[in-house]
Copies of this chain bind each other. A is one copy, B any other.
Amino acid sequence: MKIRIGIIGGAGYGGGEAIRLLLNHPQAELVFVHSRSHAGSPLHAAHPDLLGETSLLFTDVIQQQVDVLFLCLGHGESKKFLEENKINPSIRIIDLSQDFRLGESVPGREFVYGLPEMNRDRIKQASNIANPGCFATAIELGLLPLAKAGLLQEVYTTGITGSTGAGQKLQDTTHFTWRANNISAYKTLTHQHLKEINRSLKQLQPAFNSAINFVPWRGDFTRGIFVSSCVTVDKPLDEVKKLYADYYHGHPFTLVSQDTVDLKQIVNTNKCVIGLEKEGDKLVVHSAIDNLLKGASGQAVQNMNLMFGLPEASGLKLKSIVF
């Protein structure tokens, strides 16, 4: 029997990526895709690559005969959606916005932060998931083993993101002419994901009270996040590597590489790849994810798999783009 799924906000990047994954997922049945702006159009009107993949049309009707809803809405919109629409309490929710990542709730629905590498057991029991942010996922996966070991100190992080992180809306900073071959910083030291990052790190190392000094950059590519975090650690690299290997043992998507890592190893997959280097007492952790997959819709499907007792990687064995 298949899990019956509805998507709310199916015309954007996150919704489109969820559709792509769920159409090919062996235990999933995509029942409806909701979009006010595109109701009545075929899915390939918004997502031309879906031509020939499905005959589904976007709808503006929210059906209640589903097992789970993916909310692929803008920040602030998910909370509003749940407040304004009566959703059958038995329907589970996976929310891709930031509305419930810091412990927020709506009546009748408490949310678990959906980072399987930290909360897998709780996710398996959860009815509602707050899916982590893209930069948050990359940075947290790079630091969790240190926090677990109580070793985390002040962190200096630079991260670069593809343009899909900025969404579908046309903006000056997503104009091709401006962004091609360009690099720029934004939200220096003030990125909104810092809150959920701090919350996660404190979950594992409650005494952690230092800063994550995070400088985000806009990259001149479409998909992916690459992060380098520098932190003082008073242990030899071998021991650090063992910490990471132990921590991620049994987690199918987060891999600690013994070689150099690069972004395209993981683009178009649900993986996070981690590289570790050390000079003196400074550890540098590189971590890379696809912001739309492990950083959004892929992780959402991973959470769905866990919630419904499916193999964690079901529907997520994706061919990387690699080149």
Give A contacts to B, CB under 8 Å. Answer: 13, 16, 20-21, 24, 47-49, 51-52, 156, 158, 160, 162-164, 168, 170-172, 174-186, 188-190, 211, 213, 215, 217, 219-224, 226, 228, 230, 252, 255, 257, 259-269, 271, 273, 275, 277, 279-280, 282, 284, 286, 288, 292, 317-323
Contacts and interface: CB of A to CB of B under 8 A. Distances in A.
Residue among A160, A176, A188, A260 with the most chain B CB within 10 A?
A176
Given A160-B160, A217-B228, A323 B292 contact: yes
Given A158-B215, A176-B174, A279 B188 contact: yes
A318 to B, nearest CB: 5
A162 B271 CA distance: 25
Nearest to A155: B156
A255 B52 CA distance: 7
Nearest to A186: B260
A216 B16 CA distance: 29
A84 to B, nearest CB: 30
Contact of A170 (B24, B170, B217, B261): B170
Contact of A176 (B176, B211, B259, B288): B176
Contacts of A226: 183-184, 217
A21 B319 contact: yes
Contacts of A224: 181, 183
Contacts of A175: 168, 170, 174-176
12 contacts: A156-B156, A170-B172, A174-B176, A181-B222, A181-B264, A181-B267, A184-B260, A185-B228, A185-B275, A215-B284, A223-B321, A318-B319
Given A319-B268, A323-B222, A255 B51 contact: yes
Given A49-B264, A189-B282, 11 more contacts: A48-B261, A48-B265, A49-B269, A175-B176, A178-B323, A180-B181, A181-B221, A182-B221, A188-B279, A190-B279, A268-B268
B188 A20 contact: no
A186 B277 CA distance: 10
8 tightest Cβ-Cβ pairs between the two chains A and B: A158-B158, A156-B156, A170-B170, A184-B262, A189-B279, A49-B320, A183-B226, A181-B221
